[in-house]
Amino acid sequence: MYAQMVKSTGKGVKTREEMSEDERAFQDKIDADTKIEPRDWMPEEYRKTLVRQIGQHAHSEIVGQLPEGNWITRAPTLERKMILLAKVQDEAGHGLYLYAAAETLGVSRDEMTEDLLSGKMKYSSIFNYPTLTWADMGAVGWLVDGAAIMNQVPLQRTSYGPYSRAMIRICKEESFHQRQGYDIMMKMAQGSPEQKRMAQDALNRFWYPSLMMFGPSDADSVHSAQSMAWKIKINTNDELRQKFVDQTVPQAEYLGLSIPDPDLKWNAERGHYDFTEPDWQEFFDVIKGNGPCNTERLGDRTRAWEEGRWVREGLMAHANKRAARIAAE
């Protein structure tokens, strides 16, 4: 039923004839690869789509700190602890750049946070899976950050200026995250038989959830057609998922680990790996709030929001006092 619903709404990209004069001028700018800036005229749906995507992206960076933050106190060496701490702090920074980019579209960070906590806005499905062992820190860096980069490198060319500029900095930092994850996997895969088993187990559990990060298959993607016409998205969900598989399989081979997909094989005719699609029912269940850790993750964010209320109120009181003093001078 869901698939039918999204298929019908997936169409609906206006033809030039159906566009207003403003919309045609806007589309011409997009087609000429001119960046759209906050004060430029934009269709209301373009603005709403960006708020949804950038806001979700920001929430993902913030919620995404939780599964790794869980391991900072248990990192096996001081060096690993420092690296993981720096990585998790980077994610907080990514969230802030992205909230700031979304704020240029007339929505406040407080509003977006309230919408996250009420379940109106989403965050990436991947962060609803638990991180059970240290090897999961390797799998998250290698696969989750690897998938994030695959999706975000093209977003550096997205049509909305503030979003594209935020992505340039984020991508630089994501590459370090992916490398640190692969380095953990390499140590584990070349370690004792028990460590290698842990690395394989982490790959087994994170493989399909990582493939889901790219969103539903193109046939079921609600927003792709319009978002690509507006160059908010540069590639389809399936294109990026395929690129990720093609890039990751040789990396797994180098580690001596097996991708948990018996039907995975190189297709010389297509020049790509054939692979088994994720269980889409599981994906839709997770994004509806029924994944293994949804309640825990939103509970943690709600508690942090409530516990930080006095700081926000204090800062606002200070800012108001300052503004009143300046106005009186």
| Binding residue (CB under 6 A) for ligand FAQ from 216, 245, 291, 301 | 216
When asked if residue 297 is in the footprint of ligand FAQ (CB under 6 A), the reply is no
Smallest gap from Cβ 147 to ligand FAQ, in A, equals 7
Which of 200, 221 has the CB closer to ligand FAQ? Answer: 221
As given in the structure block, the two tokens for residue 105 are 């579209």
| Binding residue (CB under 6 A) for ligand FAQ from 237, 242, 248, 294 | 237
When asked if residue 131 is in the footprint of ligand FAQ (CB under 6 A), the reply is no
Residue whose Cβ sits closest to ligand FAQ: 64
Report d(CA 48, CA 169) in Å as an integer.
24
Contacts of residue 172, Cβ cutoff 8 Å, sequence gap at least 6: none
Report d(CA 303, CA 190) in Å as an integer.
40
274 forms beta bridges with 265
- Taking residues 63 to 102 in sequence order and writing x for each that binds ligand FAQ by CB under 6 A, - otherwise, the string is -x--------------------------x-----------
| Binding residue (CB under 6 A) for ligand FAQ from 125, 210, 242, 248 | 125
**If you ran DSSP here, which 8-state letter would residue 20 be given?**
-
Which of 56, 159 has the CB closer to ligand FAQ? Answer: 56
DSSP output for 165-220? HHHHHHHHHHHHHHHHHHHHHHHHHTS-HHHHHHHHHHHHHHHHHHHHTT-S-GGG
CB 30 within 8 A of CB 231: yes
Smallest gap from Cβ 287 to ligand FAQ, in A, equals 4
Read off the amino acid at residue 261. D
For the segment 142-201, give every residue that binds ligand FAQ (CB under 6 A): 144-145, 148, 151
Which of 13, 319 has the CB closer to ligand FAQ? Answer: 13
Which one of 21-29, 53-61, 185-193, 267-275 is the stretch in contact with ligand FAQ (CB under 6 A)? Answer: 53-61
Q: Which of 210, 187, 191, 179 is nearest to 275 (CA)?
A: 210
Neighbours of 319 (CB within 10 A): 10
Which of 173, 191 has the CB closer to ligand FAQ? Answer: 173
Which one of 107-115, 129-137, 186-194, 221-229 is the stretch in contact with ligand FAQ (CB under 6 A)? Answer: 221-229
| First and final C-alpha spacing in the chain | 63
Smallest gap from Cβ 258 to ligand FAQ, in A, equals 23
The SS3 of residue 160 is: strand
Contact residues for ligand FAQ, defined by CB under 6 A = 52-53, 56-57, 60-61, 64, 91, 122, 124-125, 140, 144-145, 148, 151, 212-216, 221-224, 227, 233, 237, 287
